[in-house]
Structure 1
Amino acid sequence: MNALTSLLSPDLLLFACAVTLVSGIVKGAVGFAMPLIMISGMGILLDPKLVVAGIILPIVLSNLLQVLRAGLGDAWTAIKDFAVYIVIVCVMILISAQFITVIPSDVMFLVLGIPVTVLCAIQLAGLRIVIAPQWRRTASLVAGFLSGTLGGLAGTWGPTTVLYLVALDTPKARQIVVQGVIYGLGSVMLLLGHLQSGVLNGRTVWFSALLLIPATLGMWVGFRIQDRIDQETFRKATLAVLLVAGLNLVRRGLMG
């Protein structure tokens, strides 16, 4: 407890747990957005680099739970089908994580928030963005590069991954397992990258470990919500969550 209270006051620790609980519920329901909600929520009162450290263990565990719930067989199929995208994301997370201490946090928020907000608003307005089969490899390269770079810098590669999967018109059950695999492997790379960068260290790891409790509870609630929604509702809910998160990231980038 001393290790935790030396980082944050009890009130701030409770606040961080509450934000993580909400992020776990959303993650369990739509398969993503845990790091986005944790970063944008906790970042209101906490240092951005401490927030990045805090999200690491919860996103590793939550993605493991997501993959195990879908089944290892489906997970292995997802790895084979999206191998190019997954490899690029993982490599770029490792590389870009080393630059988190030199790039201003407001720049990271704007770079992530603006494209996510615009693309989500367009699709919610009725315009469907669809990737034709002949462009899938190119889209995998571009989206993988962007996702991995943002993942290492801002701790979240969900928005570009989800937009990519939605553009491929991926069915709900398939999208959930693919997201779990991509986020799961990416979160391991994030863990390794920030052990190297020093963001996750002997002090901040205890903060991240504490957040495992509300994250797991939130996932349990979210899984039950997921089972009750159909494909179109799932797509709209996914885009709506992305839009709100994107707007909040833009707000944080502009406010500094």
Structure 2
Amino acid sequence: MDMLFSLMSPQVFLLSCMVALLAGVIKGMVGFAMPMILISGLSSLISPELALAGLILPTVLTNGWQALRQGHAAAWGSVKRFRVFLLVGLVALLISAQLVRVIPHWVMLLLIGGPVSVFSIIQLLGWQFRLPERGHGWVEAGIGGFAGFLGGMSGVWGPPTVLYLTALDTAKTEQMRIQGVIYGLGAVALFGAHIGSGVVRAETLPFSVALLVPALAGTWLGFQIQDRIDQVAFKKATLLILLIAALNLVRRALIG
């Protein structure tokens, strides 16, 4: 704890735990947005680099939990189904993680927030973009690469992934599992990549460990809510949270 409080005051740490609790609840409800909420909320309290280090372990464990709720066989089936997305995204993530100290933070936020805001508004207004189950390998590779590239720099790869799954009209339970698999594998890769980049190190790792308790507690609560909502409500909640998170990223990119 001494090392932890050398990085921040007890008051800032308490606020960080509250952010992690909220991120967990939203994560459990709709299957994503934990990195977006954590990087947005924590960056207003601490440096973006420390915020990025803090979100990594909560993201790994909550996604593993989410991916395995229906068992290992179902999770492995999701890996095989979305193997192109995962492989291309992994390569892009490992490359872009090394750019985290080079690309301006506002550029990174705008790249995520802008396209997602537009898509979410269009969907909420009633326009439905659909992709067929088969025959769109280049689309899958392109979106996977874009998601991985953003994820390596910011720890946030949820929006492009959610947009892709929404366009496939994926059922709620399956979408939750697939998101857990994709984000979980991405989070493990992110952890390794940022050990190499220096973001995760002995001084910052205790902060990520400390955020596990509120993040896991919030995720459990969110799962209880998610299990009780229907497909239509789930999709609307997903799009609304996407829109709010994306607009906040745009705001931070433009006005700080």
Q: Over aligned residues, Cα RMSD in angstroms? A: 0.9
**Residue in 2 aligned with 1:12?**
12
> How far 1:156 moved relative to its partner?
0.9
Conservation of the 8 A alpha-carbon contact between 2:94 and 2:189:
yes
* TM-score for the superposition, normalised by structure 1: 0.98
**Residue in 2 aligned with 1:152?**
152
Local SS of the residue matching 1:101: coil
Local SS of the residue matching 1:153: helix
| Runs of 5+ consecutive residues of structure 1 not aligned to the other structure | none
**Residue in 2 aligned with 1:72?**
72
> How far 1:139 moved relative to its partner?
1.4
> How far 1:24 moved relative to its partner?
0.2
* TM-score for the superposition, normalised by structure 2: 0.98
Distance 2:248 2:46 in 1: 15
> How far 1:104 moved relative to its partner?
1.1
**Residue in 1 aligned with 2:88?**
88
> How far 1:136 moved relative to its partner?
2.1
Local SS of the residue matching 2:200: coil
**Residue in 2 aligned with 1:3?**
3
**Residue in 2 aligned with 1:140?**
140
Paired residues, number = 256
Local SS of the residue matching 1:61: helix
Distance 2:167 2:245 in 1: 19
Percent identity for Structure 1 against Structure 2: 51
Deviates more, 1:73-82 or 1:36-45: 36-45
**Matching residue's letter, 2:202:** G
**Matching residue's letter, 2:108:** M
**Matching residue's letter, 1:154:** S
Distance 2:180 2:117 in 1: 23
**Residue in 1 aligned with 2:33?**
33
Query: Could you list the per-position Cα deviations for residues 48-81 of structure 1 after superposition, in whole angstroms to 9, with x for gaps in the alignment?
Result: 1110000000000001111221211110110111
Distance 1:207 1:82 in 2: 32
Local SS of the residue matching 2:146: helix
> How far 1:88 moved relative to its partner?
1.0
> How far 1:45 moved relative to its partner?
2.1
Structure 1 residue 213 corresponds to structure 2 residue 213: yes
| Runs of 5+ consecutive residues of structure 2 not aligned to the other structure | none
